[in-house]
Structure 1
Amino acid sequence: MQILVVEDDKRISDFLIKGLEENGFVVTLCKSAEDVLNQYLAIDWDLVIVDIMLPGMDGIQLVQTLRFKKVFTPVLMLSALNTVQDKVSALDSGADDYIVKPFHFDELLSRIKALTRRTHYHQKEPVSSNIEIGDLIIDLNQYKVFQSGTELELSPREFKLLLYLVENIDKTVTRIQILNAVWGITFDNQSNVVDVYISYLRNKIEKNGKKYIHTIKGVGYMFKD
Structure 2
Amino acid sequence: MKILIVEDDKRISEFLQKGLQEAGYFVQLAHDGLEARNFIQNDSWDLFILDIMVPGIDGLQLAEIIRFRKIDTPVLMLSALGEAEDKIKALDIGADDYLVKPVHFPELLSRINALRRRYELHYSNDNVLFCGDLKVDIDRNVVERAGQEIVLSAKEFRFLVYLVENQNKIVTRTQILQVVWDTNQDTYTNVVDVYISYLRNKIDQGFDEKLIRTIKGRGYMITCQK
The TM-score range, normalised by the shorter chain, is 0.5 to 0.7
AA in 2 matched with 1:65: I
Instruction: Give a deviation string over 1:26-61, Cα, whole Å, max 9, x none.
Output: 101111121122243232211000000000211001
Instruction: Give 3-state SS (helix, strand or coil) of 2:14's partner.
Output: helix
Instruction: Give a deviation string over 1:177-213, Cα, whole Å, max 9, x none.
Output: xxxxxxxxxxxxxxxxxxxxxxxxxxxxxxxxxxxxx
How many residues align structurally? Answer: 124
User: Which residue in 2 is equivalent to 1:109?
Assistant: 109
User: Which residue in 1 is equivalent to 2:179?
Assistant: none
User: Which residue in 1 is equivalent to 2:37?
Assistant: 37
Q: How does 1:20-31 map to 2 (within 5 A)?
A: 20-31=20-31
Q: Identity percentage over the alignment?
A: 57
Aligned mates of 2:100, 2:124 — CA distance in 1: 31
Aligned mates of 1:74, 1:123 — CA distance in 2: 13
Instruction: Give 3-state SS (helix, strand or coil) of 1:41's partner.
Output: helix
The answer to whether the 8 Å contact 2:40/2:66 transfers is no
- Distance of aligned partners of 1:64 and 1:25 in 2 relative to their CA distance in 1, 3 Å threshold: same
Larger radius of gyration: 1
Aligned mates of 1:65, 1:51 — CA distance in 2: 15
AA in 2 matched with 1:97: D
User: Which residue in 2 is equivalent to 1:53?
Assistant: 53
Instruction: Give 3-state SS (helix, strand or coil) of 2:42's partner.
Output: coil
Cα offset, 1:123, TM superposition: 5.5
Instruction: Give 3-state SS (helix, strand or coil) of 1:115's partner.
Output: helix
Normalising by structure 1, report the TM-score.
0.52
User: Which residue in 1 is equivalent to 2:19?
Assistant: 19
Cα offset, 1:81, TM superposition: 0.3
Aligned mates of 1:93, 1:21 — CA distance in 2: 29
Aligned mates of 1:86, 1:123 — CA distance in 2: 30
Unaligned runs of 5+ in 2: 126-226
- Distance of aligned partners of 1:39 and 1:25 in 2 relative to their CA distance in 1, 3 Å threshold: closer
Aligned mates of 1:86, 1:2 — CA distance in 2: 27
Where does structure 1 differ by over 6 angstroms across 4 or more consecutive aligned residues?
A: none
Normalising by structure 2, report the TM-score.
0.52
Structure number with the higher helix fraction is 2
Higher RCO (CA 8 Å, separation ≥ 6 residues):
1
Instruction: Give 3-state SS (helix, strand or coil) of 2:49's partner.
Output: strand
